[in-house]
Amino acid sequence: MTLRPIFAFALLSLFIACKVDPAVRLPRASDAPKTMLWAWERREDLRFIDPSTTGVAFLAMTLTLEGNAVRREPRRQPLEVPDGTYLIAVIRIETSKATDRRPALGDSQIDETVELAHEALSGPNVRGIQIDFDATLSERPFYRKLMSALRSGLPTGTPLTMTALASWCVGDRWLQEMDVDEAVPMAFVMGADADRIRSFIRAENDWTEPLCRASYGLSINEAPLTGLKPDRRVFYFNDEAWRAGDLENLYYP
């Protein structure tokens, strides 16, 4: 028996093992700056940033789903940024927990949310939409259907991203069914998972969910994470209004 067939089989096996599964959903390329600041519902004067290196993902509205309705709370606080700043409109979605107002999670609520996303996208310099929804297990089918409707309902080429609980990015593959450009892993305020995920990252592991591998969501109010992968976009959160001096706390390499 010669070694040539065995060697050829070994090479073929290695090729198959290393080949990227075409069915795996990967992050899409983005022209957003590598540094993004989340600007939540408070007065934010960000005229001190350099728009050539830094963008802003601002809370545009909060939508509460209750019954068959979508209750909209628009941003009420002013946001000031330099001309030409790359902006992402963040839409926060919440669901009523009151027994008599549990959301129907129906098609009409999806249609209304898509319409409101169009409204958020119409602002000056708004380049994309980011959905922030801490969906429970039972709400995930609705969330998937919503993101599919947003993808088809928004103008072609519109960046569509989502935030993701850090636990969703380690071992939970349900995000593969989300038609988004990327899922931003929120590696802060991680609750009961904090120690486990910090240890996971500190050991220089990468997220097991491919859609989470283009960026990090970090807080300047928590101890810096070590073991982060290089060359990724970072969305920074601040518990308070941003000040110029806070930029010194953006610790990502």
CATH code at position 226: 3.20.20.80
- Decide: 129 and 89 in contact? Cβ < 8 Å: yes
pLDDT score of 10: 37
CB 246: neighbour CB atoms within 10 A? 16
118 part of a folded domain: yes
Q: What's the maximum distance between 2 C-alpha atoms anywhere in the chain?
A: 78
CA 198-202-206 angle, to 5 degrees, is 90
Backbone angles phi, psi at 62, to 5 degrees: -115, 130
Alpha helices in 20-166 (DSSP H): 107-121, 140-153
Q: Which residue range forms the structural domain that includes residue 122?
A: 32-249
Compute the distance between CA of residue 217 and CA of residue 106 in angstroms, rounded to an integer. Answer: 30
The pTM of this model reads 0.89
Residues, the chain, total? Answer: 253
4 part of a folded domain: no
pLDDT score of 23: 80
140 part of a folded domain: yes
22 part of a folded domain: no
Compute the distance between CA of residue 31 and CA of residue 120 in angstroms, rounded to an integer. Answer: 20
124 part of a folded domain: yes
Number of domains in the chain: 1
- Decide: 205 and 197 in contact? Cβ < 8 Å: no
pLDDT score of 174: 92
pLDDT score of 21: 57
Residues of the chain falling short of pLDDT 50: 1-20
pLDDT score of 253: 67
191 part of a folded domain: yes
pLDDT score of 5: 41
Q: Amino acid identity, residue 217?
A: G
24 part of a folded domain: no
155 part of a folded domain: yes
